[in-house]
Chains A and B, each alone.
Chain A
């Protein structure tokens, strides 16, 4: 079973920041937080991951609380192409460990 809780859906205006929350209160010390997204009828796309420090890449920023029980994915300037289902997943850092998907958050970006 997925170890994360996310809101079912969120709306965002184009050009604004999209902040997607995720609760993972039972995360273990060696588990990372991963974010993927899936645009309709495509395979999931990796966005970002982190252990305890905040992370930033060309796609997004990941803010992890100090107690690691929750995190927020930030898309700084959402575009229409960011409309997708966003999945927050916790996973250990061992080879051969599958990603277990929950229901994710459907983000709708509108103009």
Chain B
């Protein structure tokens, strides 16, 4: 089956620093990738839609200058949390969309970000 990886799986950073999270589709090409975040005991919230070679589309309330998304190739999208603060601590999950059939989405294992 389709595999999506994320790196790192866990990261702890100090307040004010930036953190980059990578999302890779390992055995298929993904024109579109999606970024979600999940706070404890809550559901996944869509942050942005990332299209290869173009600017990401952000959901209402998500700061595009704080959450920088780059989708430079058909297998890699990155999310950079800039000037991280404790309230950015969350579980960040990406998904990659297949290019055939019913455009199923496959999720990465998630990245646990803790900002101290």
- Give A contacts to B, CB under 8 Å: 32, 36, 38, 41-46, 49, 87, 93-104
Cβ proximity bits B63-98 to A, threshold 8 Å, 1 near / 0 not: 000000000000000000000000000010101010
- Contact yes or no, A93 B44, CB < 8 A: no
Q: A38's closest neighbor in chain B, by CB?
A: B44
Shortest beta-carbon distance, B2 to chain A, in Å? 9
- Taking each of A36, A95, A103, which has the highest tally of chain B beta carbons within 10 Å of its own beta carbon? A95
- Contact yes or no, A42 B109, CB < 8 A: yes
Q: How far, in whole Å, are A96 and B103 apart by their CA atoms in the complex?
A: 8
The answer to whether residues A104 and B46 also contact, given A43-B110, A49-B102, A94-B103 and a CB cut-off of 8 A, is no
Secondary structure dominating the interface of B:
strand
Q: B42's closest neighbor in chain A, by CB?
A: A103
- Contact yes or no, B91 A41, CB < 8 A: yes
- Contact yes or no, B110 A42, CB < 8 A: yes
> Cβ of A49: which chain B residues have Cβ within 8 Å of it?
102, 104
Residue of B99, B106, B112 touching A46 (CB-CB under 8 A): B106
Q: How far, in whole Å, are A96 and B99 apart by their CA atoms in the complex?
A: 10
Q: How far, in whole Å, are A103 and B103 apart by their CA atoms in the complex?
A: 23
The answer to whether residues A41 and B110 also contact, given A96-B32, A96-B97 and a CB cut-off of 8 A, is yes
Q: B111's closest neighbor in chain A, by CB?
A: A43
8 tightest A-B CB contacts, nearest first: A43-B107, A101-B44, A101-B43, A44-B107, A96-B32, A43-B109, A43-B110, A43-B93
Shortest beta-carbon distance, B31 to chain A, in Å? 7
- Contact yes or no, A95 B104, CB < 8 A: no
Q: How far, in whole Å, are A104 and B6 apart by their CA atoms in the complex?
A: 24
- Contact yes or no, A104 B43, CB < 8 A: yes
Shortest beta-carbon distance, B95 to chain A, in Å? 7
> Cβ of B44: which chain A residues have Cβ within 8 Å of it?
38, 44, 101
Residue of B6, B45, B46, B103 touching A95 (CB-CB under 8 A): B103
- Taking each of A43, A45, A94, A104, which has the highest tally of chain B beta carbons within 10 Å of its own beta carbon? A43
